[in-house]
Amino acid sequence: FKQESSESIPSSLVLYNRIGSAVVIGLTALMVVVFIGRGERLMTLARELAEAAEEREASEQLVTAVKRIADIGMWSFDYTQNDAIDWSDEVALIHGRPPGTKPSPAEAFEHYAPDDRRRLAEAIELAAATGDPFMEEARLELPDGTSKVILVLGKVILDAEGRRQRINGVVQDVTLWRDAESALSAQRRQYVQLVSAMPFIIWTANADGVVDFLNEAMVRYTGVPLEGLVGEGWARRVHPDDIERVWADWGEAIQQRKNYDTEFRLQNWAGEFRWHRVSAQPEFAADGSVLRWWGCAIDIHAVHVLRQKADEVARERDMVLESIADGVYTVDREWRFRYLNPAAETMLQRSAADLIGKVVWDEFPAEVGTEFYRVFHRAMENHTVEFITMHSPTLGREFDVVMSPSDGGLTVFFRDTTELRRLHEQLAHAQRLESIGRLTGGIAHDFNNLLTVVIGGAEAIAADAALTDDAREMAELVLEASLRGAELTRRLLAFARRQPLEPKPVDVGSQLMSILPIIKRTLGEAVTVETSLQPDLPLVTIDPGQLENALLNLAINARDAMPDGGVITLAAEKAVIDEDHAATFGDVFPGTYVVVSVTDTGTGIDADLIPRLFDPFFTTKRLGEGSGLGLPMVWGFAKQSGGHVTVSSEVGKGSTFRLYLPLAASDATAAGDADDQPALMTARSGTILLVEDDPLVQRFAMEHLKATGFQVVAASSGPAALTALEAMDRIDLLFTDVIMPGGMSGKDLAEAVLAARPGTPVLYTSGYTENVILHNGRIDDDVSLLQKPYTGAQLVRRVTEVLASAREVGDD
């Protein structure tokens, strides 16, 4: 209560009911203001005029007003009567008594808590002594077990001598308010405890963004008292590299009145900077203005570290994907491209920028309906990893493809295996060559030894003048068949690249023109042979005899492809093989070559047959019309010479075979045929050490050499030959087989003989050398070789050539 001066007497009473509604009551003698809110209860009772209390109109108005106000009533006590308290029905109900009762003071206060009765009595005594109003709260414990909290207000009226006349007052049931206040206080305590217990930082700021509250988590984290953090104190804990961005983002959020969300580093009590995610949102007033900001900061350092590691892994993954030779791309469940690495761009011949977001089947419609299309869909629909080896009609390449499903679609790994398959085919071909070579070599030595004897015998028989014509014809047939057998062996060795070559610098143009008459005679009049020779071609390093055989084979094949006749064109020109073509060809080096081609106007070759053309014994001719070794021999010759051979053909229009021949050294000169007949005639004498392990061949060779005028000492092995050499006064030639039993090869024997008799000429002979005297299939310039099988005439000529050459060197 506050006593007002007598000059100011209000004319109305403002009271509040339990729901907070205000009721204004007109007064003539009393002003009562009851204000209840946020835990404060105040009733101010103005000075009352005693005269107004007795006026009926005022009393009726007061009664009417009180009835309108819930849980509030008037009471009075007359000290002069000292009998009963006069209270309204509302006060009676508040005290748990029926309306109309007039209790004594003892009865009125019997249900008050003892402490409350004492405080109320003390308050009345104090009010009587000071003349001030009093206001106290008390708790009622009613007989029915309920309890109430009431607000008791009053004013002691004194007479002129200061004696107590009466007390006028008001009682209000404030139980609901106090319960609400208690609940609110409990909620506030819970809120404070909750905020304090939060493991993350909670903060608030005023409308201008000035931080005015931080919870205990910030204090614990930084080790700084709260007063050192509010305002801008918290900013001193932000990492120096982040603070400028933090202020900029915070200022933008305040200016635009939008949510604040950022990440920065905060220093903890130990000096460590840890990443936090800091966010806040504004609280708006009804008019849209910002009242304040509510925010929090969560330690995300572990997440940030994991994110950094994930980013590092992603970068490493991207580096791997960007650098690997395999193609990788991803598609979503609608078959749209989402990612392509550079290798995928190269292999698909499309850029990522062009494909991302587009549907696979729209961009590669030729794949729709293929096995690849079906497997692709199976992987997507069944969520299974699928593998397929496929040929892409769009790209014209072979691929190995792995499809790995994910929730978002498919990741496709693919590898261009076109070159790998070509290499596998080359390896298989090389292995096949090796097998054929081993097989051929296995039989060539013994077979050629036998053929040597058969050929020599047939030749000798056919030369006998005493033979009948029928016998001579039979001997000639045996000789022809033996020579064909020898040619068959040579072709097998040529295909397997085990045919000994004697490469020389050759002018291809001159070589072609020299064999042109032979080719024309062989092909017959139904075939027209034309030539197209580029002038001034560089020399090539090849075996000229093998080149003639290869061209003759190609020409015969071309003729057979033109059953009704036609035109064959022999051409020679210079060509360059670049690295890409060299890789396609296989074991061919990039560079300049002379290309010799044979083109016909025949029936052409089906594309499916071209890969098999150079396989041994493969032929498209009828049985008995070809051995199937002509083209393999050409292929083997080209490869063994360091070149290559290609085929292009179109059914119904003809074919072209091209031989790529390596160039000779720039200072080489073409080999010529010298007229050495006089030297050969004078060389048919001397002593020859013949070393041959096959007795039949040894006898055949010895008889022919003796018949020519040579003296011959024969041996069956290297050690036996060295023993024989010790007894020889003179040796003009060592004629030795290359491969012999006893652990000593012909080359080993030659080295031993040269050590004992320096300068002795050596002539080797063999049906299969097994690289004993060859280097990469080529005979060295200082090595002389007579290949088996040979005729007697070939034997004598080769022996005399070697002796003549040796004597010319000696004369020099």
- 64 versus 117: the higher-pLDDT residue is 117
Contact criterion met (CB below 8 Å) for 167 and 152:
no
Per-residue confidence (pLDDT) for residue 55, from 0 to 100:
55
The span from the CA of 349 to the CA of 366, in Å, is: 15
Q: Do both 722 and 747 map to the same domain? A: yes
Residue-averaged pLDDT of the chain: 81
- Give the CATH number for residue 651: 3.30.565.10
pLDDT tens-place string over residues 149-167: 999 999 999 888 888 889 9
Among 614, 634, 662, identify where a domain stops.
Answer: 662
pLDDT at 780 (0 to 100): 61
What integer pLDDT is reported at residue 779 of this predicted model? 58
Residue 723 lies in a domain: yes
- Comparison of pLDDT for 767 and 524, the residue scoring more: 524
pLDDT over 60 (residue 34)? no
CA distance 202 to 292: 14
* Residue 53, CA distances (Å) to 50, 172, 394, 449 in order: 5, 20, 111, 159
Q: How confident is the model at residue 550 (pLDDT cuts 50, 70, 90)?
A: confident
8 Å CB contact between 260 and 295: yes
290-299 and 273-284 as β-strands: parallel, antiparallel, unpaired? antiparallel
Residue 149 covered by a domain: yes
Bridge partners, residue 216, by sequence: none
Same-domain pairing of 642 and 533? yes
What's the confidence (pLDDT) of residue 38? 33
More confident: 122 or 314: 122
Q: Is 491 a member of any domain? A: no
Beta bridge partners of 688: 712, 733
Return the pLDDT at 498: 59
Does residue 68 have a pLDDT over 80? no
The pLDDT value recorded for residue 685 is: 75
Q: What is the mean pLDDT of residues 754-771?
A: 82
On whether the CB atoms of residues 701 and 713 are closer than 8 A, the answer is no
CB of 340 within 8 A of CB of 329?
yes
Summarize the confidence of residues 453-461 as an average pLDDT.
80
- Can you read off the two tokens belonging to residue 70? 């819930």
Asked whether residue 114 carries a pLDDT value surpassing 80, the answer given is yes
Q: Would you say residue 314 lies in a domain?
A: no
Kindly state whether residues 611 and 754 are assigned to the same domain.
no
Question: Looking at residue 346, which CATH number applies to its domain?
Answer: 3.30.450.20
Indicate if 73 and 103 belong to the same structural domain. Answer: yes
Give tens-digit pLDDT for 672-700.
544 444 444 445 678 999 999 888 888 98
Quick one: pLDDT at residue 188?
78
pLDDT tier for residue 36 given thresholds of 50, 70 and 90: very low
Q: Which two tokens stand for residue 55?
A: 């006026």
DSSP 597: E
3-state secondary structure of 300: coil
| Last residue in a domain, options 305, 337, 363 | 305
Instruction: Note whether residue 567 is domain-resident.
Output: yes
Domain assignment of residue 89, yes or no: yes
- Same domain? For 22 and 106 the reply is yes
Say yes or no: 331 and 254 in one domain. Answer: no
Which region among 127-141, 656-670, 745-759 has the lowest average model confidence (pLDDT)?
656-670
- Contact between residue 276 and residue 266 where contact means Cβ atoms under 8 Å apart: yes
- Here the tokens at position 447 are 């077979």
Q: In sequence order, which residues have a C-beta less than 8 Å from that of residue 556 and are 6 or more positions away?
A: 522, 523, 630
**What is the value of pTM for the model shown?**
0.45
Q: Do 159 and 129 share a domain, yes or no?
A: yes
Q: Is residue 669 part of a domain?
A: no
pLDDT digits (tens, 9 = 90+) for 200-240: 898 999 998 899 999 888 999 999 998 999 998 899 999 99
Give the pLDDT band (50/70/90) at residue 61. Answer: low
End residue of a domain, out of 662, 693, 727: 662
Residue 269 pLDDT: 93
Number of domains in the chain: 6
pLDDT for residue 192 is more than 80: no
Q: Domain residues for 622?
A: 501-662
- Determine contact, residues 508/596, Cβ cutoff 8 Å: yes
Q: What is the mean pLDDT of residues 350-366?
A: 91
Residues 49 and 140 in one domain: yes
pLDDT at 274: 94
547-571 mean pLDDT: 88
Burial degree of 33 (CB within 10 A; 0-12, 13-18, 19+): middle
What is the pLDDT at residue 778? 55
pLDDT at 15 over 80: no
Tell me what pLDDT residue 600 has.
92
Instruction: Determine the pLDDT at residue 44.
Output: 37
Tokens of 228: 């050192």
454 pLDDT above the threshold of 60: yes
> 205-219, 462-476, 550-564 — which is least confidently predicted?
462-476
Residue of 140, 166, 143 whose CA lies nearest to 152: 140
Segment 448-453 shows an average pLDDT of 80
Q: Please choose, from the candidates 190, 194, 170, 230, the residue with its C-alpha nearest in 3D space to the C-alpha of residue 15.
A: 170
Q: Is the pLDDT of residue 316 over 50?
A: yes
Query: Which tokens sit at 541?
Result: 């390093």
What pLDDT is attached to residue 224? 92
Per cent of the chain over pLDDT 90 is 26
Q: Are residues 691 and 807 in the same domain?
A: yes
Three-class secondary structure of residue 113 per DSSP: coil
Helices 418-462 and 792-811, packing angle to 10 deg: 100
Q: What confidence tier does 433 reach under pLDDT thresholds 50, 70, 90?
A: low
State whether 656 and 626 are in the same domain. yes
**Within this chain, do residues 28 and 100 fall inside the same structural domain, yes or no?**
yes
Mean pLDDT of 477-490: 79
pLDDT tens, position by position, 257-305:
999 999 999 999 999 999 999 999 999 998 989 999 999 999 999 998 8
pLDDT band at 762 (very low <50, low <70, confident <90, very high): very high
Residue 750: is its pLDDT beyond 60?
Answer: yes
Give yes or no: residues 619 and 728 share one domain.
no
Q: Average pLDDT of 570-576?
A: 90
Evaluate whether residue 189 is within a structural domain.
no
At a CB cut-off of 8 Å and minimum separation 6, what does 382 contact? none
> What torsion do the CA atoms of 390, 391, 397, 399 make, to the nearest 10 degrees?
0
pLDDT in tens, 707-727: 888 999 999 999 999 999 999
